[in-house]
Chain A
Amino acid sequence: MEPILKVQNLSMDFGGLRALNDLDLDVISGEIVALIGPNGAGKTTFFNCITGIYPPTEGDILITPPGKKTKRINGIKPNKVTERGLARTFQNIRLFPNMTVLENVMIGHHCRMRAGILGAILKDRSTIKEEERVVENSYQILEKIGLSDFVNEFAKNLPYGAQRRLEIARAMATDPFLLLLDEPAAGMNPHETEDLDKLIKQIRDKEGISILLIEHDMKLVMSLSDRIFVVDYGKKIAQGTPAEIKNNKAVIKAYLGEDIDA
């Protein structure tokens, strides 16, 4: 299988600090891949490099959208990355607090819409059609995510768990082939995490969106992932199936420290 995301020798320097060091990673279509590692290992930086927020110092980021040619997306702007079909969520929730839940999702559709200023003013047919389609579509996404009761609520008034789900809904609205989730379960209680587990699997199975996620909740990671990549100090220290990772000495050492024998 051809990977839809292929990252090769990725490095990122902040001044003298090497936050990512020669990292390789790939995601195959239909997979759920997890990226784990201790705090400060460079996971979010990795996401930021892929999504164009930081231009990487070295290496290649290649994407192959289904049915299209492979492209190198190093250093292109975040909005272009999203247009190409990579959507993300944020570790520290970044919704648009003073917009309604529905509008938040509608923003996700932005790059798939065409209406310009003239369209907005004249409200010609295609614009109205487009708006209707987007409203409809957004509502459907919210139903899938289980937020349809909150449609007209301001995003800032949602409970914490719902805000995390709304971020996922918003990302899905950009019509991605790969979803990057940055700690989707952070701050959730066990019950909410279980729902999230189902939701993520559903997104993969029903929507056909592949998923790359960063997560600290090991139970969730083990249950979800097809493959796991482990990073520490910006370097990849292991990769493999959940079962392989569980018994990997290097991983245990990274998490528990030097002195403990596995």
Chain B
Amino acid sequence: MDYFLELFLGGLTRGSIYALIALGYTMVYGIIELINFAHGEIYMIGAFTALIVISVLTMMGMNTLAILVIAGVIAVIYSSAYGYTVEKIAYKPLRNAPRLSALISAIGMSLFLQNYVLLAQTSDFLPFPNLIPDFEFMEPYAHIIGSTDIVIVITTAIVMIILTFLIKFTRIGKAMRATSQDKTMAMLTGVDVDRVISVTFIVGSATAAIGGVLIASHVGMINFYVGFIAGIKAFVAAVLGGIGSIPGAVLGSFVLGWTESFATGYISSDYEDVFAFLILVFILIFRPAGILGRSERHRV
């Protein structure tokens, strides 16, 4: 039973991290119907920025909690800036082009960012310091779930709540929902669509950066390639839940997290990624729109 619980909670942690990244995919897709392939890279850059900041600050001798907060904030700012720039360079000029073009441009951007970090930094795995202290009250449960996991799950929950609030109740949230329904109409009613898209990219990148910092301190190491794998998995999660739908992305992430956790725990750890893709293929075959996606009708 403990083993089951451990796997369950492990899946929850994984799912939370996927959810943080998947949100960016789903929001961007909801608004401009583009798979932002570079999203995983944004997340990787977030983790790298955090690592750099942490290293610098540690050498200056600050205390850990302050470092964590500062690193997190700076990572979020930088990732957002990258997200914004990527959109301006690679996607905006292709707003009216065929979707295949934009998609290929996105792949190109992903390739570029990955190698940019590879060249500017290093191709080795870098150890990422775990700055989250072990909470004392967690002591009795430590064999099942670590403090880092708790922090991850809680942070994810908080981010979700903020995001839901942002989208449901603020002006920009309303504008986002309008844009995703009908871009032209939103424009006609005075929504600055370009700004909405920029904001979407910034918010998506920010959540990805939070995810990046968290997962890096969870796994303990990063390299230039982590973004791609995590990105693809998060995308799988977003598709599972029904891309374009925010609750769908969260649900899909947990489904994926649990699938991986249980499959590796009970069957074999070699095929971890295979399970992730298999479940994707199966779900898409039986429910092409994803778990919560609405099946779309093409207007003729």
* Chain A neighbourhood of B100, CB < 8 A: none
B-side interface residues, number (CB < 8 Å): 2
Tally the A-B contacts, defined by beta carbons under 8 Å.
8
CA distance A237 to B300 in the complex (A): 24
CA distance A14 to B294 in the complex (A): 12
Chain B residues with CB below 8 A from A91, complex form: 300
Which residues of chain B are within 8 angstroms of A94 by Cβ–Cβ distance? 300
Q: A50-77 toward B: CB 8 Å interface, digit per residue (1/0)? A: 0001100000000000000000000000
Which residues on B sit within 8 Å (CB–CB) of A54? Answer: 297
- CB-defined contacts of B300 to chain A, threshold 8 Å: 44, 48, 53, 90-91, 94
* Complex CA distance for A91 and B297, rounded to whole angstroms: 16
Tell me which residues from 57 to 114 in chain A have a Cβ below 8 Å from any Cβ of chain B. Answer: 90-91, 94
Return A68 CB to nearest CB of chain B, in Å: 28
Q: How many whole Å from A13's CB to the nearest CB in chain B?
A: 12
Complexed CA–CA distance, A54 and B300 (Å): 10
User: Contact residue range for chain A?
Assistant: under 10
Q: For the complex, give the distance between the alpha carbons of A90 and B300 in Å.
A: 7
Give the distance in Å from the alpha carbon of A168 to the alpha carbon of B28 in the complex: 39
The complex places the Cα of A14 from the Cα of B300 at a distance, in Å, of 15
A94 to B300, CA, bound (A): 9
Residues of A near B297 (CB, < 8 A) are 14, 54
A54 to B298, CA, bound (A): 10
- The smallest beta-carbon distance between B296 and chain A, in angstroms, is 12
Cα of A14 to Cα of B295 in the assembled complex, Å: 12
Q: Which of B137-191 contact A (CB under 8 A)?
A: none
- With both chains docked as a complex, state the minimum distance between the C-beta of B218 and any C-beta of chain A, in angstroms: 42
Nearest opposing residue in chain A for B294, CB measure: A15
B contact residues around A90 at 8 Å (CB): 300
Cβ-closest chain B residue relative to A94 = B300
Give min CB distance, A9 to chain B, whole Å: 23
Q: Which chain B positions have C-beta within 8 A of A44? A: 300
| Neighbouring B residues of A53 by C-beta, 8 Å | 300
Name B242-300 residues within 8 Å CB distance of A: 297, 300
A53 to B297, CA, bound (A): 10
Binary per-residue interface labels of chain A (13-57) against chain B in the complex, 1 for a CB within 8 Å, 0 otherwise? 010000000000000000000000000000010001000011000
CB-nearest residue of chain A to B298: A53
Chain B's closest residue to A182 (CB) is B300
Name the residue of chain B whose CB is nearest to the CB of A88: B300
A126 to chain B, nearest CB (A): 36
Least Cβ–Cβ distance between B41 and chain A, in angstroms: 32
Give bound CA distance, A170 to B204, whole Å.
45
Distance to closest chain A CB from B107 (angstroms): 22
With both beta carbons as reference points, the residue of chain A lying nearest to B299 in the complex is identified as A92
Interchain CA distance A48-B300 in the complex, whole Å:
8
CA distance A44 to B298 in the complex (A): 13
- B residues 39-69 in Cβ contact with A at 8 Å: none
Min CB gap B158→A, angstroms = 35
Complex Cα distance, B297 from A206, in Å, reads 38
A53 to B300, CA, bound (A): 9
- Quote the shortest CB–CB distance from A171 to chain B (angstroms): 14
Apart from A48-B300, A54-B297: 6 A-B pairs, beta carbons within 8 A: A14-B297, A44-B300, A53-B300, A90-B300, A91-B300, A94-B300
A positions within 8 Å CB-CB of B: 14, 44, 48, 53-54, 90-91, 94
Q: Which residues in B have some Cβ–Cβ distance to A below 8 Å?
A: 297, 300
Q: List 5 A-B contacts (CB under 8 A).
A: A44-B300, A53-B300, A90-B300, A91-B300, A94-B300
| 3 interchain residue pairs of minimum CB distance | A48-B300, A53-B300, A90-B300
